[in-house]
Amino acid sequence: MTVLTPLERLIDAMRFVIYYANINNLKSRLNATLLLKIIFFAEIVCLDTFGEFLTEVKMVKTPFGPVPDKYTTAISVLVNQQIIKVNKISNQTTYECLSDHKPGALSEEKYNILKLITHAFCTRLTAKALSNYIYENKYYQLAKNGSEIPIVAYLPHKTIKLSIEELAELDLLSDPFDVSEDIKAEFPYFQMLK
């Protein structure tokens, strides 16, 4: 079994989020800031749910919130391999997926977490609402720009207050990455997102 680097896992996670947003007509909502927040929150949920990180990349503080330290490299790889196209209109950066996502770098459970967070964040929440949660963290407030923000500083967290019933309203059953009610019930964070 091949052990993937944190960068390879980040590339796969970002590719999945962009692909999922595109096939579910959410790509106009998925801008650069929201993509980074989805990855950040998925790291928190994976660490708390499975006891392991989604990607293991370091998160660093920026004025826009925590950002994977390998973010620009991951985007460059996806663009250079013609997997995604970056669209910049005014001050907004969005992504278009140019190829299908082939699962494999992450576990099915981690793809499910990415799917649920992406859907919730692109349909129900704003980047500002997510930022408010991030900026309230004392560790984040004290950290300097460019310094690492440990994910464990956000555990336990109060972020995700979306009930299972609200997830059902999102009509996740109509997409090719279906998640059963049992899987949704396993992830307590989806009961905490509001």
- How do residues 2-23 score in pLDDT, each as one tens digit? 788 999 999 999 999 999 999 9
In the predicted structure, residue 30 carries a pLDDT above the cut 70: yes
Q: Look-up: residue for tokens 């907004």?
A: 92
Confirm whether 166 is domain-assigned.
Answer: yes
28: closest CA among 83, 79, 93? 93
Per-residue pLDDT of 121-174, as tens digits, reads 888 776 666 777 777 777 788 888 888 888 877 775 444 444 444 444 444 333
Confirm whether 180 is domain-assigned.
Answer: yes
Residues 6+ apart with CB under 8 A from 193: 120, 124, 125, 159, 160, 161, 162
**Distance (Å, whole) CA 43 – CA 68:** 10
So what's the pLDDT on residue 156?
59
pTM: 0.77
How many domains is the chain built from?
1
Amino acid type, 146: G
So what's the pLDDT on residue 172?
39
Residue 4: DSSP 8-state: P
Confirm whether 1 is domain-assigned.
Answer: no
Confirm whether 173 is domain-assigned.
Answer: yes
**Distance (Å, whole) CA 116 – CA 163:** 12
CB 9 within 8 A of CB 105: yes
pLDDT band per the 50, 70, 90 thresholds, residue 175: very low
So what's the pLDDT on residue 55?
93
Residue 161: domain span: 6-191
Confirm whether 176 is domain-assigned.
Answer: yes
